[in-house]
Amino acid sequence: MSSINQGTSVAVRALDELPKDQREVYSARYMADESREATCRRLGMDPAHYDHLLAQTLRSLRRMAVPVSACPAAA
């Protein structure tokens, strides 16, 4: 596994492990390259709620465990 894939595994796992509302914002923003405005329009979401969800999404990602293979000690 390349170093990029080790690091990305958390980001990919997020699609399964994030709560549904956070996953929608996450996939739209980082995978579909959809703008904040477009996502709010499509989902009928208030921009302030989008910002809150995005902040919560990033915190959720931080709480996800780093894969052991990405740890220097395991290399």
- Which spans of this chain sit near another protein (rule: CB under 8 A)? 3-8, 10-12, 29-31, 33, 35, 54-55, 58-59, 61-63, 66-67, 70-72
- Shortest Cβ 63–another protein spacing (Å): 8
- Shortest Cβ 48–another protein spacing (Å): 16
Which residues are CB-contacts of 39 (< 8 A; sequence separation ≥ 6)? Answer: 24, 25, 28, 29, 45, 50
Which residue's CB is nearer to another protein, number 3 or number 46? 3
Q: What would you report as the CA-atom Rg of the chain, rounded to the nearest whole angstrom?
A: 14
Q: Could you give phi then psi for residue 46, rounded to 5 degrees?
A: -70, 135
